[in-house]
Structure formats: C-alpha cells, structure tokens
Structure 1
Amino acid sequence: MLKYLQVKNQVGDSADIHFYGDIVGSEWSKWDDTDKAPEDVLQALDEAKNASKLNIYINSAGGSVFAGLAMYNMLKRHQAHKTVYVDGVAGSIASIIAMAGDVINIPSNAFLMIHKPWNILQGNASDFRKMADDLDRIETGMLSVYQSKLAYGTTTEDIKTMLEAETWLDGKEAAKYFNVTVSDEVRYAASISDLSKYAKAPKALTAREPDNSKELEALRLQYELLTI
C-alpha cells in the first residue's frame, strides 16, 4: 500500500490513517503517489478492521466530489471511534472527509475550507442546464454532511452562504460554525499540492514552503511540472 496512506497499529486497538494529497476517483487518476483514491481507503480500513480507535490526519486541498463522498461513507461505517486531526488544511471535499470524525481537531493555524461544487463541461445548452441541476443536488448532499456537525446556533443558510463565497476558516473560526475542537498552533507537516484553483486561499498556506523536507519539495516540484 502507498506510503502516504498507511495504517500504523499502535497499541493493538488503535490505528492511524493519513490523507495527504489530492482526492481522486481511481488509481488511474493519480498524478502523484500522495493522491488518494477510494480503493486506498478501502484497503486501509480493511487493515484497521479490528481497531477500536482510528486517528485520521488530513492535509488536502480536495479533489473528486464522488471519491470524497465515498471515503466519508467508508469512514463513517467503520466501528472505531474516529478522531480527525487537520494538520494543514481540509479543503473542498477533504472538508467532507473531516466530518467523518466523532471528534475533529483543528489547530488555530490550520484551515477548513468549503465551497460550492463545480465542474468543467463541454456541451450544448441542455447539457449545461442538466449539469447545473446535478451540481445543486450534489450540494444538497454535501450540506447534509455539514449539518451533522453544526455548532449550536448555526443554520443551514449560514453554510449555504459560506459555500457560495468559498470560505476559509481557521481553527477558531471553524469552531463558531462546526462542532470542532481547537488546539494550539502547530508546525505544518507538508505543503499543499496546488491551491491556485481557489480564489481566496490564505497567504499563510500559499506562501508556505515545506517543513525542511527535500523529499516533499521534490514531490511538489514534480507535481507542478505535471500540471503546467
């Protein structure tokens, strides 16, 4: 199994899973071995099938909506008590994956980002109208996930407004809207692969270099070359 989505048994009843990289639909969709497909998660959870505690670490800018929803549902079905740690950002569909946690920890200098689903389409007017309807249905499904973690006083309309605006929430801000635990600032474990597609990505993320890791820097440069 890929080293970036590995399961580590600790004391027999606990396991760790890391989501570092983009969320993709299949093995064939991967640009980099940090990317995650549903089959990776299925294998990881099978390895952790006897765990009663599951620690989920996330540092991802998102990716495929349907792949992310599948990962969320896989995690939710697992019998273990799930604790999510947002190490840098849980962005886009990765924010949905984060909602699988029974407990969600976000450091004060890490981010949760939510936005409306979007797609690239070629076709005629009927195709575009159908896609708009499909995106609305997908958004409704995403809203149902966010609603399961709303903080007291937050409404569905609040979340809809934030989705419309592409909203970045640091740990303290996220706690105003979602049932998350805010922890102290931490040093980021790695850079995010590509935030250029997001209009409002915080400078704290876009300007950051990897944490003194030549290997991670090489992977980032490789990814950029492949996506020029």
Structure 2
Amino acid sequence: MPKMKAFNCFEVKNETATSADLYFYGDIVSDWWGAWQEEDQYPEAIKNFLSGQQGKSLNIYINSGGGSVFAGIAIYNMIRRFAETNAVSVTVDGLAGSIASVIAFAGNTPPKIPSNAFLMIHNPFALVEGNAADLRKMADDLDVITTGILNVYMEHVKEGVTEDQIRALMDAETWLNGRDAAEYFNIETTESVAEIAAASGGYVARARNVPKDIVIQWAAGAARNKTSDNQDARSAVLNQNKKRDEIARIIINSL
C-alpha cells in the first residue's frame, strides 16, 4: 500500500514582499513520494517555490546530510538561475553534507559557515545488484557523477586550490568546519553558534568519518530534547490524527 501523508507539505517561512527564507533541514529527495518528513526537499517543490519569488531576495539555511545526487544538482542549477536576477545568500546552520554541500554554493555570494558548522564532501555512492558487468558499469557511472560534482566544487575554490586537492578530500570523505573549509573554498566564516543542531534525515547516518565531537554534541542535544519531546508527544499524535482525517476527507471527496 502506498504511504499516505498530508498534502502541501512544502512550507515557505518568513515570506515578505521583498524576501523569503528557504530551509534545507531534511533529506534531498527526488519527488513528493520520497519525502518522508516535512523537512525533506525535492526539485518540483523548489521549482514551484522559486517561480513565486521573482524580484525577492532569498535566504537559504542548510542543515542536511544530503540525499539524491541528481535531485540535488537539479536544485543547485535552479537556484543558480534564480540567483542570476535575484540576491541569494546561503547559511550553513549545522551541516551541509554530501549533495547538500553542492547546494551550499548555489548563492551569488559565498556561503556563510560558522566555525563550528560543517561542510562534508565525499564521492557519491549507490546501491546496486547484478552481475559483474552491472557492477563494473555502476563503478564507471559513479566516476562520471563524481566528476560532475567536482566541477561544481571547482567553480567555488580559492585561487591556487587544485582539482587534485579537492578530489583527495572527496576520496577521504572530509568534514570541514567553517575555518577549514575557508582554506579551500570561497566561504565567509562566521562566529560559532552556541550549539549546532543534529542534521535530520537518513543520509547523514551513512557517513563514515563523522568527527567524534559532532557525535557527542548531537547526542547531548538529543538527550536535552528528550524531555520536551515527551511533553510534545500527545500533541504530535493529535496533529497526526488530524492530518490523517484531512487526507481521508480529500480522498473521499475525490471518489
């Protein structure tokens, strides 16, 4: 049975006549059906959002472990086109990891990354099954995709940084805090915030080299939030039931 969820889950926050805020706080997925939580973003939602924001400045905030490579590249290219005629700024609140690190460079000014927030870059990966020929083809395809991602990074590196340097960082799955990232990329490093939020979504869980201090900080934050989460559990259930009833009414009315 296909999953059921509320319609119009994409939300624009702090929209005014002159500006709008856009949050990437979940996974980057291919389409509406792949968005398991409201924070997930996908190309069609971004396209629809941007079409209504012409003439406005756009503030993008990122705390995402990444997701679909092709969805992320599509979103990057859409925002880059929007940035040709509109002011677009990007701030990394916690983590811009994997393909979210590509989206971090979509603005027309260098992204802002606090000294205790992170940019994580690595090579793309895929799940594949099949015979030896299938596996070899997938390896070749991943090499091509890696080059595409590398090309984006190279458009935003500091003068003197070489392709071999960035490729080595990708090979190693490298976590760069704001100050470290500024050694390689055109980035505005800002003062550290009191605490970085744990990146939501499932893709960050696949990372191999998460720094220990990040794991400790995320775990501490989760423990502090547990009490308030328990207090909010009842209202969350009630809201979920309300959404379920709304979806049921939509389906019944469409029959």
The bucket for the TM-score relative to the shorter chain is 0.7 to 0.9
Which of 34, 40, 53 is matched with 2:39 structurally?
34
* CA-to-aligned-CA distance 1:132-165 (integer Å, 9 cap, x gap): 1111111111111101100122111100000000
Based on CA coordinates, which of the two structures has the bigger radius of gyration?
Answer: 2
Is the CA contact (8 Å cut-off) linking 1:7 and 1:47 kept in structure 2? no
Taking structure 1 as reference, are residues 17 and 152 closer, same or farther at Cα in structure 2, changes over 3 Å only?
same
Q: Show structure 1 runs of 5+ residues with no match.
A: 219-228
Segments of 4+ in structure 1 off by > 3 A? 187-190, 210-218
Matched, 1:57 2:61: yes
| TM-score (norm: length of structure 1) | 0.87
Task: Please report how far the alpha carbon of residue 212 of structure 1 lies from its aligned counterpart in structure 2 after TM superposition.
Answer: 4.6
Is the CA contact (8 Å cut-off) linking 1:17 and 1:44 kept in structure 2? no
| TM-score (norm: length of structure 2) | 0.78
Match of 1:226 in 2: none
Q: Distance in 2 between matches of 1:187 and 1:77?
A: 34
SS in 2 for 1:158: helix
SS in 2 for 1:176: coil
Task: Please report how far the alpha carbon of residue 106 of structure 1 lies from its aligned counterpart in structure 2 after TM superposition.
Answer: 0.2
Taking structure 1 as reference, are residues 100 and 212 closer, same or farther at Cα in structure 2, changes over 3 Å only?
same
Task: Please report how far the alpha carbon of residue 120 of structure 1 lies from its aligned counterpart in structure 2 after TM superposition.
Answer: 0.5
Match of 2:159 in 1: 152
Match of 1:94 in 2: 100
Q: Which moved more, 1:172-181 or 1:183-192?
A: 183-192
Is the CA contact (8 Å cut-off) linking 2:89 and 2:108 kept in structure 1? yes
Q: Distance in 2 between matches of 1:159 and 1:134?
A: 20
Give the aligned residue type for 1:57.
Answer: Y
Task: Please report how far the alpha carbon of residue 175 of structure 1 lies from its aligned counterpart in structure 2 after TM superposition.
Answer: 0.2
Give the aligned residue type for 1:200.
Answer: N
Task: Please report how far the alpha carbon of residue 203 of structure 1 lies from its aligned counterpart in structure 2 after TM superposition.
Answer: 2.6
Which of 165, 172, 181 is matched with 1:174 structurally?
181
Give the aligned residue type for 1:13.
Answer: T
Matched, 1:67 2:68: no
Match of 1:206 in 2: 215
Match of 1:114 in 2: 121
Residues paired across the two proteins, number: 215
% same residue: 46
